[in-house]
Structure 1
Amino acid sequence: MNIVKQRLSACTSILVGKKATLDGSTFIGRNEDFKSAWPKHMCVHSHKEFKATQSFVSKSNGFKISLPSIRYKYTATPEWTDEFGLLEENGINEYGVAMSATESAYANSNVLSYDPLVKDGISEEAMLTVVLPYVSTAKAGVKRLGEIVTKHGASEANGILFADNNEVWYMEIGSGHHWVAQRIPDDCYAVVANQLSIQKIDFNDSANFLASPNIQQFVQKNHLNPALESNFIFRDIFGTHTLFDEIYNTPRVWYGQKFLTPSKEQVPMDENLAFTLKPDRKLGIDDLTYVLSSHFQKTPYDPIGQGDATLKHKFRPISLAKTQESHVLQLRPNLPPALSGIQWLALGVPAQSIFVPFYAGASDVHSAYKLGNETYSPDSAYWTYKHVGILVDAHYPLFGPILKDLQDELTTKFKQHIHLIDQKAIQNSFSGKELEEYLTKNSIELQELGLTEFKKLAAQLITSATDLSPLNFKTDANL
């Protein structure tokens, strides 16, 4: 029997249905949290058709799988090194399917004693690479990954986000071979934070729920359902309810729901928070980036706020120093996939970085997004954004507002550029290679704009910091 200790990354995810958004877009987004100095790159994998059978072998745990002969074009954000696996994490493919993998979670010991995690099963490291390039809808993504877990097993408990223009799905792996998935209602959103979060499963509603074969029989046979009635609550059967959840996980969900549905009064340590909620207003990109960049602003729990020292560090915030990158994948309605999909990517800590838009239809990225290792280097996009964050950290009350002004200014410019880029592409009826080249050129220019402005800000902050040394001495002007 293979008993696996899960290697966790501590992420926060958000998913939004099309009727809950300003323009009918679907959204999925997530913070990838692992280490405070561990760069991410960005790349575009081209469409390829192979004559020979292809296979994937994980450097992380030896997971093996044969792959289809046609690999669709897709974007990805891999690690700076593949020594521990690819960890491509998030992207959008040529069919306009978005995927983010994964939201690490915990399964309880009761379930794992009957269906242990599989040492060489699929893990976070491989999921995007072996699923996203081979599916044409969000639901197909759930089904493909589900079939892999059922056949090969999973080495981790995880949550995986999928979206296309019409549907948003959240999938959770709760043991070695069992999983469920729920379609986010079109008028709702979900915020997830390192817990198995899906609640009641309706096995008769395949339009909105999917699950591993025989999961009901597995639970019944092994007496795993704690419910007094016949309800199948996945979170209660497979998940955990501990003090760790109440300190580390549920407060993040509480804050996301507090911001998006302020009419609903709740408390941070409530373990009965709803999985999906209707927002009090239509949501846009700014709402999602706010949640992913948040650190309990306007509450006593903000670690950089003015509250009591104990409360300021009581709960784990959403945006923190160990965030490698944060992304929001937006699929806009009534546009071809190349133009519809926008990958908003903030390298480093999102609260101190900026979400830069990149068109899914582009074929390349700025050279700085291909550079950077674990030691600082100024030619790396990751380190450019991380550098500003470190400078701001040293003098947050003074430098924080300056950073915020630039973030607001750049966000406005990015939206203006997207509007103009869209207009020109539509007016000129760009398609095929012409559209790809147009979107590549403009996406790289947007990435260059963000880098240039943050380098200017770094120079400004360094210059200002020269007068903030503890060795400074102010002489009486009258002497």
Structure 2
Amino acid sequence: MEYNKAELSACTSILVGKKATIDGSTMIGRNEDSQASWPKHFVVHPHTEHTTEQTFVSSANGFKMPLPKLQFKYTATPEWTTKEGLFEEDGFNEFGVAMSATESAYANETVLGADPLVEDGIGEEAMVTVVLPYVKTAREGVARLGSIIEEYGTCETNGILFSDADEVWYMETSTGHYWVAQRIPDDSYAVVANQLAIQAIDFNDSDNFMFAPQIIDFVQSNHLNPNPATFNFRKIFGTQTLSDEHYSTPRVWWGQQQFSGATNESPMSEDLDFIKKANRLLSVDDVKMYLSSHFEKTPYDPMNESEQNHLFRPISLAKTQESHILQHRPNMDPAVACVQWIAMGVSAQSVYVPFYLGIDATPKAYQIGTLPYDGESAYWAYKLVSVLVDGHYKEFGKQLQTTQKQVNITLNKGLRDADKRAENLTGPELTAFLTKTGEELADEALTAYRKLTADIITASTDFSKLNFKTDLNL
């Protein structure tokens, strides 16, 4: 199968500061949207001290750079094949730094003409691999990736999410060598959907903004700023097209309407704020809801029969490979505090299974899965339910929702119970317990979904068009 992920990747992201959450967590999350049939795995890379300096070479575009001898432990969700690159996408490292890469975006032709993308520069497929295992804070993550882009260039325009116990950062690359990053205020959130999102940059506020050193001179010398009274990164580097208004801004609008309250703003508005305050404290369940949503209770929902049901691109869609939420909870050992919630397949039809940072292995079902379909794979188990339900949503949609509700309750309770038991454990005993917990919770969810699959297949046997009402007298 020939395939270029860089041409297809199109995600939706959310970032939430610690004072905007119900329990003081920082959270970042993203749907990895690319192709309807392209399996993902979930792995743990151990802490490794190499005897010689390592070199990373991309199988996607030849990007090459040296790596330190010391590699911190980290989790990741790589592709099933390395043919088009690693695409490790998201994870925590042993210091509780979370990273999700990337939110694909677009820069305008004018700025790209002044600083074109670099064909063999760093891209999405390499970012987690060459950054996450080598940083101790979210801010360090931004700085490391920024320095790589300045030295080697980037082949794409992207958004990258970083967080740790205290800070949440959103970084955007635009042209070949220029980037900016903004810290999400502790009391705020942001939702992003395939557009450059960061707006006004305060170059004197190093606590909340980071940027390529020469970006001001670059913009001024190339006459790129349409409003020199301010420096609005989105307006200078981004796009404002009809495609944006159908593909990107409606997803941002939907999130802001859900979290900050209904307004008269249009789903197609090009002036939606990047940073917002919610009208309540947000929970991990709110983040799950957003990443699983598709304009419910509006004419834009693809699941209804409105004439507008395909006017806007929904948040959750069939091309989601996996969805993740990286939650760093306060006042806990990082091994327990950091939870990586993973929903394999279509987020609206899957469930988010929690895995602790402190695990040293992932369940076998999450380490396998290729093309074609493999019934033992976690990715394919959730994907199969989507395929079966999509064919007869009216008949099986409520049954899916019932299963999701029951599984979510089980997983939430299991995590709470495990948190309490983990309080009295340390060292290898804690690692073994957290690993076992991940396996047990994953098995609970997979068992429920496999039962749902069996029920749907059994009930579907009577849907054939070859059916006819049998004469009971024969």
**TM-score, scaled to structure 1:** 0.96
User: Which residues in structure 2 correspond to 1:373-388 (within 5 Å)?
Assistant: 373-388=370-385
User: Which residues in structure 2 correspond to 1:25-104 (within 5 Å)?
Assistant: 25-104=25-104
What is the letter of the counterpart of residue 57 of structure 2?
A: V
**Paired position in structure 1 for 2:282:** 283
- Map Cα deviations across residues 239-277 of structure 1 (whole Å, 9 max, x no partner): 000000001110111111111112433211001000011
**Paired position in structure 2 for 1:272:** 271
- Map Cα deviations across residues 137-168 of structure 1 (whole Å, 9 max, x no partner): 11110000000000110000000000001010
User: Which residues in structure 2 correspond to 1:332-371 (within 5 Å)?
Assistant: 332-371=329-368
- Map Cα deviations across residues 17-74 of structure 1 (whole Å, 9 max, x no partner): 0111110001000000111000000100000111111110000011111111111100
CA distance in 2, matches of 1:46, 1:264: 48
CA distance in 2, matches of 1:471, 1:98: 53
Does residue 390 in structure 1 map to residue 399 in structure 2?
A: no
**Paired position in structure 2 for 1:421:** 418
What is the letter of the counterpart of residue 257 of structure 2?
A: K
**Paired position in structure 1 for 2:191:** 191
CA distance in 2, matches of 1:204, 1:461: 59
User: Which residues in structure 2 correspond to 1:150-165 (within 5 Å)?
Assistant: 150-165=150-165
Decide which of 440, 461, 466 is 2:456's aligned counterpart: 461
- Map Cα deviations across residues 434-474 of structure 1 (whole Å, 9 max, x no partner): 21111001111111111111000000000111122222223
Does structure 2 conserve the Cα–Cα contact (< 8 Å) formed by 1:327 and 1:345?
Answer: yes
What is the letter of the counterpart of residue 117 of structure 1?
A: L
CA distance in 1, matches of 2:357, 2:264: 38
1:109–1:465: structure 2 CA closer, same or farther, 3 Å change rule? same
**TM-score, scaled to structure 2:** 0.97
Residue ranges of structure 2 left out of the alignment (5+ in a row)? none
Does structure 2 conserve the Cα–Cα contact (< 8 Å) formed by 1:199 and 1:275?
Answer: yes
- Map Cα deviations across residues 400-444 of structure 1 (whole Å, 9 max, x no partner): 110011111111111111111010111x2x122221111001111
What is the letter of the counterpart of residue 446 of structure 1?
A: L
CA distance in 1, matches of 2:196, 2:426: 42
Does structure 1 conserve the Cα–Cα contact (< 8 Å) formed by 2:8 and 2:35?
Answer: no
CA distance in 1, matches of 2:325, 2:464: 38
**Paired position in structure 1 for 2:125:** 125
SS at match of 1:61: coil
- TM-superposed CA distance for 1:477, in Å, is 7.6
User: Which residues in structure 2 correspond to 1:304-319 (within 5 Å)?
Assistant: 304-308=303-307, 311-319=308-316
1:8–1:463: structure 2 CA closer, same or farther, 3 Å change rule? closer
SS at match of 1:60: coil
Decide which of 409, 434, 439 is 1:444's aligned counterpart: 439
SS at match of 2:7: coil
What is the letter of the counterpart of residue 347 of structure 1?
A: M
CA distance in 2, matches of 1:437, 1:47: 16
SS at match of 2:340: strand
Does residue 241 in structure 1 map to residue 216 in structure 2?
A: no
User: Which residues in structure 2 correspond to 1:127-142 (within 5 Å)?
Assistant: 127-142=127-142
CA distance in 2, matches of 1:441, 1:381: 17
1:431–1:108: structure 2 CA closer, same or farther, 3 Å change rule? same
Does residue 331 in structure 1 map to residue 342 in structure 2?
A: no
SS at match of 2:191: strand
- Map Cα deviations across residues 332-369 of structure 1 (whole Å, 9 max, x no partner): 00011110111100111011111111111101011011
What is the letter of the counterpart of residue 436 of structure 1?
A: T
**Paired position in structure 2 for 1:431:** 426
- Map Cα deviations across residues 192-248 of structure 1 (whole Å, 9 max, x no partner): 000000000000000000000110000000000011x42000001110000000011
CA distance in 1, matches of 2:170, 2:473: 68
- Map Cα deviations across residues 161-199 of structure 1 (whole Å, 9 max, x no partner): 000010100000010000000000111111100000000
What is the letter of the counterpart of residue 59 of structure 1?
A: S
Residue ranges of structure 1 left out of the alignment (5+ in a row)? none
Does structure 1 conserve the Cα–Cα contact (< 8 Å) formed by 2:40 and 2:78?
Answer: yes
What is the letter of the counterpart of residue 400 of structure 2?
A: L
Percentage of identical aligned residues: 59
1:6–1:320: structure 2 CA closer, same or farther, 3 Å change rule? closer
CA distance in 2, matches of 1:76, 1:265: 40
SS at match of 1:55: strand
Does structure 2 conserve the Cα–Cα contact (< 8 Å) formed by 1:347 and 1:385?
Answer: yes
Does structure 2 conserve the Cα–Cα contact (< 8 Å) formed by 1:362 and 1:439?
Answer: yes
**Paired position in structure 2 for 1:12:** 12
CA distance in 1, matches of 2:305, 2:279: 28
Does structure 1 conserve the Cα–Cα contact (< 8 Å) formed by 2:79 and 2:88?
Answer: yes
